[in-house]
Chains A and B, each alone.
Chain A
Amino acid sequence: MMENDQERMQQLLRKTMLPVAGRAGAELRHDLWPGMLKRLEARPVEVPWFDWALLAAVAVWLVFSPGAIPLLLYYL
């Protein structure tokens, strides 16, 4: 019953919404590398906000607990 339902729906979908394979637009029409290069130049790799937050937290910690600096250096 469940499988019949699925088969019927699949038939309907394949009749009304054609599979992409073999249709216009299914294959890449041109090389996208120039576009990728533009994007790489326009958007240099950003440092995630979480890394900045972590750095700020460590800086605050060191300001209020300077005694922790040797400990941090030891673990680095």
Chain B
Amino acid sequence: MPVLEQPTDVLRQFSHGDLDAFEALFRTHQSEVYGWIVRIVRDPAAAEDLTLETFWRIHRAHARFDPARSFGAWARGVATNAALDYLRTARPETDLPDDLVSPVLPDPGVSEELRRKTACAFHRLPPKLRIAATLALIEEQPYKEIAEALGISTSAVKVRVFRAVRFLRDELKRQGIEP
């Protein structure tokens, strides 16, 4: 993901609560933040709402922002927390988004049943493991970037991915699928 950075004076003005600076940051980073969130929640409508929620949180926390830091990285961290809160409240079996999970067939050898069972097992993962697995295994984002967004170490991300794989394997075996 490209890291867009702002001149320091815009960041300083934003940290003092300037609305024009906030708008400039919003316009520069909205696509990047949306792109990050939609990778996690896999639902464009929810991702738009969460992008607004992320920037709302950013706006409220302006005084805590250090202009010497990267705004993009900070925003990604806030976005990840907003997405995590969303995944915690979304009900696992009933909230499978249609447009990003099922209809396109990338591999004709994959049956609809396998696709559905895998998606269900995946949505049963605890949210923290699901985020790590989505970003690392499906979206193939670098571990370092995931670690930064989650506010944990790279090793901790690897542990979460390992636990997610073990959970999925057991869940799929229970449904009669040998991954």
Residues of chain A touching chain B, judged by Cβ–Cβ distance below 8 Å, are 2, 5-6, 8-10, 12-21, 23-29, 31-33, 35-36, 39-40, 43, 45
Judged by a CB distance under 8 angstroms, whether B99 is at the interface is yes
The CA of A60 and the CA of B22, in the complex, are separated in Å by: 38
Tell me whether B110 and A33 are in contact (CB under 8 A).
no
- Which residues of B, 69-126, contact A by the 8 Å Cβ criterion? 99-101, 104, 106-107, 109-110, 114-115, 118-119, 122
B35 within 8 Å of A (CB atoms): yes
- CB < 8 Å neighbour of A16 from B19, B51, B114: B114
B30 x A33 contact (CB < 8 A): yes
Known contacts A13-B138, A43-B56; A28 and B161 CB within 8 A of each other: no
Q: Please state if A13 and B169 are interface contacts (CB–CB under 8 Å).
A: no
Given known pairs A15-B106, A15-B110, A17-B138, the reply for A32 and B51 (CB within 8 Å) is: yes
How many residue pairs bridge A and B at CB < 8 Å? 104
B-side interface mostly: helix
Among A13, A19, A29, A36, the residue within 8 A (CB) of B26 is A36
Q: Are B30 and A28 in touch, CB under 8 angstroms?
A: yes
List which B8-44 residues lie within 8 A (CB) of chain A: 19, 23, 26-27, 30-31, 34-35, 38-39, 42, 44
- Residues of B close to A45: CB separation below 8 A: 59-60
The number of chain B residues with a CB under 8 A from chain A is 44
Which residue of B35, B114, B122, B168 contacts A27 across the interface (Cβ within 8 Å)?
B35
Q: With contacts A12-B179, A16-B118, A39-B52 known, is A24 near B169, CB below 8 A?
A: no
Q: Which residues of A contact B114 (CB under 8 A)?
A: 16
**B137-A10 in contact (CB<8A):** yes
Contact B162 A28 (CB under 8 A): no
- Which residues from chain B sit less than 8 Å from chain A, CB to CB? 19, 23, 26-27, 30-31, 34-35, 38-39, 42, 44, 47-48, 51-52, 55-56, 59-60, 99-101, 104, 106-107, 109-110, 114-115, 118-119, 122, 133, 137-140, 161-162, 165, 168-169, 179
Q: In the complex, which of the residues A19, A21, A24 contacts B99, with contact meaning CB atoms closer than 8 Å? A: A24
Apart from A21-B139, A32-B30, 7 more pairs, CB < 8 Å: A10-B137, A14-B138, A25-B47, A28-B31, A32-B48, A43-B56, A45-B59
